[in-house]
Chains A and B, each alone.
Chain A
């Protein structure tokens, strides 16, 4: 069975500090992973997908199959990064299996 683990429910960092949101997965197939974000009073939306190898809003995430991880990183946190972040694994036919989420707070 698949599993997506986000060990930190809450994470606080100061503005300008680096931030890393952890995500580990367990999946028997070939993993495709995603990060979703929900800003205050906004809808849950896709932030980035590992297959695109893109940087969105300064965030990057690298899939490490050896460590079964897909951590989300940003070198310098901004106040507008404060949000709820979910790591997700696709399990087939665009079905996403989500982790429990990490609430990031960036302290001014």
Chain B
């Protein structure tokens, strides 16, 4: 099953710890995205990357960091600076150069801070 793979599906973290969520894609897409999904708030963009070695902050980047060293991979680190990290995180990818609006999503990772 190709597409977007996120891991782990479930993650528990103690307060004050950093945690990294993995996102890998085999669609040969240039662009990748991280969204946060909270009940009643929809999806909010955290970071996005249009090309390798480049990424941009989204609407709620504070307390998060990313890297894009490889086309296939776009890991998200939730740092201890993120005030309310418990959430469902979705990774997505798309073709660049064409504003089709079609994002391909992973199955998500649920992070719970204890």
Residues of chain A having any CB pair with chain B under 8 Å: 4, 6, 9, 32, 34, 43-46, 49, 86, 88, 90, 92-101
Contact = CB atoms under 8 A, between A and B. Distances in A.
Interface string B31-51: 101010000111111001010
Given A9-B40, A49-B100, A95 B105 contact: no
A96 B102 CA distance: 9
B101 A96 contact: yes
A17 B43 CA distance: 29
Contacts of A94: 31, 94-96, 98-101, 103
Interface in B61-114: 90, 94-96, 98-107
Interface of B: 4, 31, 33, 35, 40-45, 48, 50, 58-59, 90, 94-96, 98-107
Contacts of A43: 4, 105-107
A45 B105 contact: yes
12 contacts: A32-B99, A43-B105, A44-B90, A45-B105, A46-B103, A49-B100, A86-B42, A93-B50, A94-B96, A94-B100, A94-B101, A96-B101
Main secondary structure of the interface of A (DSSP, over half): strand
B41 A100 contact: yes
Given A97-B45, A100-B41, A101-B42, A32 B106 contact: no
Given A32-B101, A49-B100, A98 B43 contact: yes
Nearest to B94: A94
A18 B41 CA distance: 26
What are the 3 A-B residue pairs with the smallest beta carbon separation, nearest first? A100-B42, A98-B43, A44-B105
A98 B42 contact: yes
Contact of A93 (B4, B42, B43, B96): B96
